[in-house]
Every structure is written in structure tokens, then in C-alpha cells.
Structure 1
């Protein structure tokens, strides 16, 4: 073995963990709004002109989600709810209620964790498990995936693709998860960033945020919808927002799936 060869392999072995980490966490740069808008408009939630997609993260939450459903009913608006699998199976009636009211359900992961260490097998299992749970509860397979905290990794992106889901983040958010959030601050923050064809991110739960902060998002909803309509924009779910949206009723696999329970109120 030459001296150069003898030096190469120890150096390569030393660099391997850093390379693996870079591949794993590299896509998280899309968390930066400028990066998303410039390089990945689809990932930022850019959709058809004349429409704004309204989305909510972190539910279902029996304490707060019903209030959002009622306000959306009064406003005549349907939205996309990115739900956590572990909460969906804990509150199946609320998941079904959201679906019955005409809203779209999407995958936010099984738990709300930060993916600092690579775990592709777990990512695949948890994304697929959440998608399957939503199918079992509603009879409709989800279309969309948004990672917790908006932190996209290679493993989670691949897990979503394998599950037949399209990953989407957002164009404008109200920072409604903060302790100092108010309806006015949430609305002003969204108005600052929202453009025609954009996607709004709000939260229908404070489970992973400051206690009680969901009141700020709820209070901001009428003004957000009103301002969009005043600008000539319709507000609705992601499935009405992008030409690539599709309505799927079966999971994208050949495995046998149990029939969903018949809706009953």
C-alpha cells in the first residue's frame, strides 16, 4: 500500500460522518423563505393565481380545533389541516368531523420532533403510518406532507415521496406560536409576506407552542380571509390551489388496506 493510499482511507473515514450529516440536513435550508421562494416555489406553496391556500398545523386538538372549524364554517372557507398521527388516533372523532365539514387532511408526521439525527427507516414508517391512519379514518388518502417545524431532511422528503405525498411548506406565516402573538400581529405578519397564489401557515393547537397562543390565530382568521377577498383572492385548501393537486381515495401501494369505518354522527 502506498503512503498516499494509507493516508486517504483514514481521512475519508473521518469525513464520512460529516458528509452523511450534510446530506441528511441539507434540505433544511429550504426553511429560509428566500431560498424557498427563489429556488423551490412549489415547496413554498406557490399555486394558481387568484387563490390563497389556508393551512393549519399541529392538530387535531379537542381544546382548540373545534373553534377553528366553527369560524371557518361561518366564513365559508375550507382549509388543509396538517395533523400529527399520534393525535389523530387519539381523537378520531375530531379527525372525522374535520373531514365531514369539507376540509382536507394532510400529514404532519407521527410526532412533532426535530430530525437532527438521520433515521430514514423511522421516517418512512412514521410518515406512512400517519397517512394510513388518515385513510382509515376518512376513506381518503392524503396528498400533502409538511415536516414538523418546517425542517425538511433528505430522509423525510424521500419518506413522503414513497408514501405518495407531495411536500409543501408555506409562503406566509403569522408567527402565531409565540407567547406575544395577538390577532393583530398575526394578521400583520401574514399581510407582509402573502402574495397572490401563496400559502398561509397557522396553527390550530398550542400543544407545541406557547400556551393559549391559538387564540391569536383564531382571532386573526376573519381579517385574513376578509383581506384576501377584498384583494379579489379566493381562499381554500391546497387541493384547490395547485394544478398538480389530485384527489386520491386509495393508498399508493398494492398492500391490503382495511375498509374505513362508515361515517356516522
Structure 2
């Protein structure tokens, strides 16, 4: 009886230690689990709304990480010459630093979405910070542009954690990733490589990801995306596809952990 009475407290303590060790792993898994939607094949098949799948005769053209006074004006001029409007996912800190450029983007007919306050890495759970930063970024876009508010949210690195899902809902934003990207952030990117990378995955109804700034990319890499633009637009138009912003993309429904059954 003595051995048993001594063993029982030890067993409870052991279980407590196991629970304490497992709890952080469970929290981390719950935090990062939704990020599997980063995988392009899975996203396109099971989460078409999140992937940015729209009407079959349209392609949504989107840019991340701006605005930047060095690079973004070149994209505005190029898009103006092509007769194309796009959606720019902007960082709140850049909007505040460059309010006049942000207003010019809207004046030229482009749409601003939210890319976060800054280009943070999302690996550690921080739901309070996620909510504050996303609301702050959305408010910055509203104040600078004078519009009712942005509609779209694309998380930095395309990693949509549970905290970012919840923060987007609180801010009234719909998360949208992409179906095709140009890999234009790389140091070795060229206009030809960007065009080929997009073409490999682009279909009618797709959403294209490019970058109008090198905020989180190799220095000067934005020039590869800029050089690829005329060819990308031509590729779409020759197959009868219209290029425009997400607002005209005809997306319906919503994908996310709380809405799918």
C-alpha cells in the first residue's frame, strides 16, 4: 500500500509535465495549421475563393509590398500605358510614409488591399498583435484614400495563420492569395523568367501575384516584374482574357476555417 500511495502523486506530476510539454505544441499547431493553404495545389482545389479564383474570362492582377516612391510610380505609368487597372496590397507603414503616392494610386483607378502593417514573419502566435496591426493598416488605407475601406487582405509571405484569419474578420477584410506568381522577388529574376513563371500556372479566372517594390525582396528585383508586364498583359489578351483588379474579378463565396463545412 505504501508503494502505491507514493506512486500516485508521481504519476499525477508526470502527467502534468506531459500536459505542460504538449500544450505549447497544440497551440503552435492551431496557430500555424491554416497556413497549409499556402500550398498552391491544395489552395486551388479546396479553397478557390482564397486562391483568388474568379470569373473565367478575367485575370486579376495584384502587386505586393508597396507603395515605394522609387519603384511604384514606374508601375503606375506602365499600367496606364497598357490601359490596365490592378489591386495593390500595401503595407500600412508604407502608406503612412508615402500618403500622396497612395492617393495617386487610387486616383489612377487602382484598388488598394491590405498586406499588413509591416512585412512580419508569422511563425509565433501573437493574436493580439495581429489584430492591432491589421486594424491599424486598414485604417491607414481608409484615412489616406478617403474611401469606405479596403476589401481584401493578403498576409505577408502568403502565410495565413489562425490569428491572421481572426484579425482579417475583425477588420472586415477578405483574405485572398493567388493562383500564379512571377517569383519576381529573386535576385536572378528577369522579365523573361517572371513571364514564364506566371504563364506556367495562369488560367482564366486566376489571380496573379507580382511585386511593385523590393521591400522584402532582392534589391532592384522589381525591375523584372516591371519588364514582364507588357508581355503578361499581351499573353492574357491574345487568349481573350480581360486583365483588371480584384473588384472586377467576380469572386463569390468565402473560404476559411469558420465558413467551410
TM-score, length of structure 1 as denominator length:
0.89
Instruction: Provide the residue aligned with 2:24 in structure 1.
Output: 17
Q: Does 1:203 align with 2:211?
A: yes
Look up the match of 1:146.
Answer: 154
Residue aligning to 1:105: 112
Deviation of the 1:175 alpha carbon:
0.3
1:31-82, CA deviations, whole angstroms, 9 ceiling, x for partnerless residues?
1111111211111111111000000000000000000000000100000000
| 1:66 equivalent in alignment to 2:59 | no
Cα pair 2:52 2:251 within 8 Å, conserved: no
Are residue 223 (structure 1) and residue 221 (structure 2) matched?
Answer: no
Give the gaps of 5 or more residues in structure 2. 254-261
- Unpaired runs of at least 5, structure 1: 246-265
Match of 1:30 among 37, 43, 46: 37
Report the alpha carbon displacement of residue 5 of structure 1 after superposing the two structures with TM.
5.2
Q: Answer yes or no: is 1:155 the counterpart of 2:163.
A: yes
8 Å Cα contact 2:54-2:252 kept in structure 1: no
Over aligned residue pairs, what C-alpha RMSD do you find?
Answer: 1.4
Give the deviation of 1:183 after TM superposition.
Answer: 0.5
Which one has the largest radius of gyration?
Answer: 2
SS of alignment partner, residue 59 of structure 1: coil
Residue 89, structure 1, aligned to residue 86, structure 2: no
Counterpart in 2 of 1:128? 135
How far off is 1:6 after superposition? 5.1
Three-state SS of the structure 1 residue aligned to 2:69 is coil
* Length-normalised TM-score, structure 2: 0.91
Does residue 54 in structure 1 map to residue 61 in structure 2?
A: yes
3-state SS of 2:122 partner: coil
Q: Distance in 2 between matches of 1:243 and 1:118?
A: 30
